């Protein structure tokens, strides 16, 4: 319990500082917790895809191919709801968990036709993101009718 207390304080402070992000899910690995967030205001329909801004944060530092450390990343996700496929672009990496520091690495946003879409395995955070984004857009469009 003593080891989990700092993680709980960290998670609560992270949620308090990032009110615009909605927590979708967390990993079950208590040694290295991963948090997946969505900006609900960013969910929109683009062509036949659902597009949204997402964020992932880790309780431990991650390392990129060039060995640069980061604790969170923001990115654009495109979901093909009909085919249940997702793709990511415009990754920006940060040294802090709140994605508030200066970026340590940035990748440009690619056009949709240049993205590699892939399915998500059942029960994974990828499937949860597909479910949320497809339902969020459908719910928003039903409300506006």
Q: Which domains does the chain have, with CATH numbers?
A: 4-144 (2.40.128.710)
Note the pLDDT tens digit of each residue in 59-84.
999 998 889 999 999 999 999 999 99
Average pLDDT over residues 16-44: 84
Q: What's the mean pLDDT when you consider all of the chain?
A: 84
Greatest extent of the chain over all pairs of C-alpha atoms, in Å:
51
Q: What pLDDT, on a 0 to 100 scale, did the predictor assign at position 90? A: 97
Dihedral of the CA atoms 135, 114, 87, 37 (nearest 10)? -90
Q: How confident is the model at residue 88 (pLDDT cuts 50, 70, 90)?
A: very high
The model's pTM is 0.79
């Amino acid at each position: 319990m003593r080891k989990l207390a700092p993680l709980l304080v960290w998670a609560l402070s992270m949620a308090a500082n990032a009110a615009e992000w909605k927590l979708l899910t967390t990993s079950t690995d208590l040694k290295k917790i991963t948090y997946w967030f969505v900006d609900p205001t960013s969910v929109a329909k683009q062509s036949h895809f659902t597009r949204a801004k997402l964020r992932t944060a880790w309780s431990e530092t991650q390392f990129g191919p060039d060995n640069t450390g980061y604790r969170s990343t923001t990115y654009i996700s495109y979901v093909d709801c009909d085919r249940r496929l997702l793709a990511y672009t415009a990754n920006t990496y940060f040294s802090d968990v709140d994605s508030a520091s200066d970026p340590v690495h940035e990748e440009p946003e690619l056009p949709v036709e240049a993205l590699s879409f892939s399915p998500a395995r059942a029960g994974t955070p990828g499937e949860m993101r597909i479910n949320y984004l497809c339902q969020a857009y459908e719910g928003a469009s039903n409300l506006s009718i």
